[in-house]
Homo-oligomer: A and B are copies of this chain.
């Protein structure tokens, strides 16, 4: 199974896609990458392989497709067992899954909404995102380099969107979320994360990110005004 062809349908601007790429690279899995242009109609390939949500990332392995980044990460971990990203202990595994879910539901969602809204509604989402950062700061206090210890794991990969994306979201949406003085443990974690060779080699282009986030913010704001 592990030697069958691997294809990833993604976008160079999606933090969810980077999660999958980092995990594949950590495992040393070779894959074909197919870029989906998110600013035009969804491609026939995407519609074929993710008919339910029609969203990236989609991992296609041995002709079978899997979507949802957290589901894909678990699949990668179970299919290619080298360089594990989840700990062995069931309780520690539960904690990694708990915090990953927290990041998606409480942090990423607020970040997305903050990017797509304005005024009071935006302020509400900014508040939610900062509350999530505060909770994660508490969780990171006293940790070694990463969530699970000395090496990058599941939860670091899931939170890995922060270092490159956060600053661009702040710039494009005209908001302030992160303060390195207020969140020193989080800040230290970010530094450790982006200094890791495999991550450093695979981070989004800042220009591309600014261009894309500006574009989708404009589109979303226009559609809200039109309602």
Chain A residues within CB distance 8 Å of chain B: 1, 52, 61, 64, 66-68, 70-72, 74-75, 78-79, 90-91, 93-95, 97-98, 101-102, 135
Contact = CB atoms under 8 A, between A and B. Distances in A.
A52 B132 CA distance: 10
A75 B52 contact: no
A97 to B, nearest CB: 5
B98 A71 contact: yes
A213 B193 CA distance: 46
22 contacts: A52-B135, A61-B91, A64-B91, A66-B91, A66-B94, A66-B95, A67-B98, A68-B101, A70-B97, A70-B101, A71-B94, A71-B97, A71-B98, A71-B101, A72-B94, A74-B93, A74-B94, A74-B97, A75-B93, A75-B94, A78-B90, A79-B90
Contacts of A1: 90
Most chain B beta carbons < 10 A, residue from A1, A98, A135: A98
Contacts of A101: 68, 70-71
A153 to B, nearest CB: 16
Given A66-B98, A135-B52, A91 B71 contact: no
A147 to B, nearest CB: 15
Nearest to A99: B52
A78 B72 CA distance: 19
Given A52-B135, A66-B91, 14 more contacts: A64-B91, A66-B94, A66-B95, A66-B98, A68-B97, A68-B98, A70-B97, A70-B101, A71-B98, A71-B101, A74-B93, A74-B94, A75-B90, A75-B93
Contacts of A72: 94
